[in-house]
């Protein structure tokens, strides 16, 4: 099979730049820790967004807003009764991601993610 245009992931683009002899300081932006990308990708495609979509479809927009409020409550006071409890793995991942993304503008990250999702849908031929 011949591809007319190859689409590289962000990680491969970084490796390509590094292979040309450019150091990280010469790249436009240091890439976000891949585990954050994987976790967000899982959230979008691995089930969580599907559940959110079902709540909206079955109960409507108002119920979805109520669910978001409950979710905010659930994570608002972690490791206390009635709230989210961190596992050792989540604690370690949180520290790693926080260290790797200290200067990340999360709003800009989400804008970029939105563009990537649109491009992926176009490539898949979705209307």
Residue 7 within a domain: no
Residue 126 within a domain: no
Q: How confident is the model at residue 27 (pLDDT cuts 50, 70, 90)?
A: very low
Which residues have C-beta within 8 Å of that of residue 113, sequence separation ≥ 6? 40
pLDDT (0 to 100) of residue 101: 82
For residues 110 and 42, the answer to whether their CB atoms sit within 8 Å is: no
Q: Give the residue numbers spanning the domain of 74.
A: 29-119
Asked if the model's pLDDT at residue 70 lies above 50, the reply is yes
* Token reading at 26: 């010469």
Asked if the model's pLDDT at residue 21 lies above 70, the reply is no
DSSP 85: -
Asked if the model's pLDDT at residue 66 lies above 80, the reply is yes
Number of structural domains (the chain) is 1
For residues 31 and 11, the answer to whether their CB atoms sit within 8 Å is: yes
Residue 125 within a domain: no
Residue 8 CA to residue 16 CA, distance in Å, equals: 10
Residue 78 within a domain: yes
Residue 20 within a domain: no
Residue 107 within a domain: yes
Q: pTM for the full model? A: 0.63
């Amino acid at each position: 099979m011949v591809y007319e245009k190859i689409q590289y992931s962000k990680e491969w683009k970084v490796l390509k730049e590094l292979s040309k002899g450019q150091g990280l300081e010469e790249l436009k932006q240091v890439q976000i820790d891949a585990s954050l990308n994987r976790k967000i990708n899982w959230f979008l495609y691995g089930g969580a967004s599907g559940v959110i979509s079902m709540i909206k479809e079955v109960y409507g927009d108002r119920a979805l807003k109520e669910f978001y409020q409950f979710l905010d409550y659930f994570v608002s006071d972690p490791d206390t009764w009635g709230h989210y409890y961190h596992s050792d793995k989540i604690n370690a991942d949180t520290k790693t991601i926080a260290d790797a993304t200290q200067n990340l503008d999360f709003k800009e990250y989400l804008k970029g993610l939105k563009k990537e999702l649109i491009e992926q849908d176009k490539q898949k031929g979705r209307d």
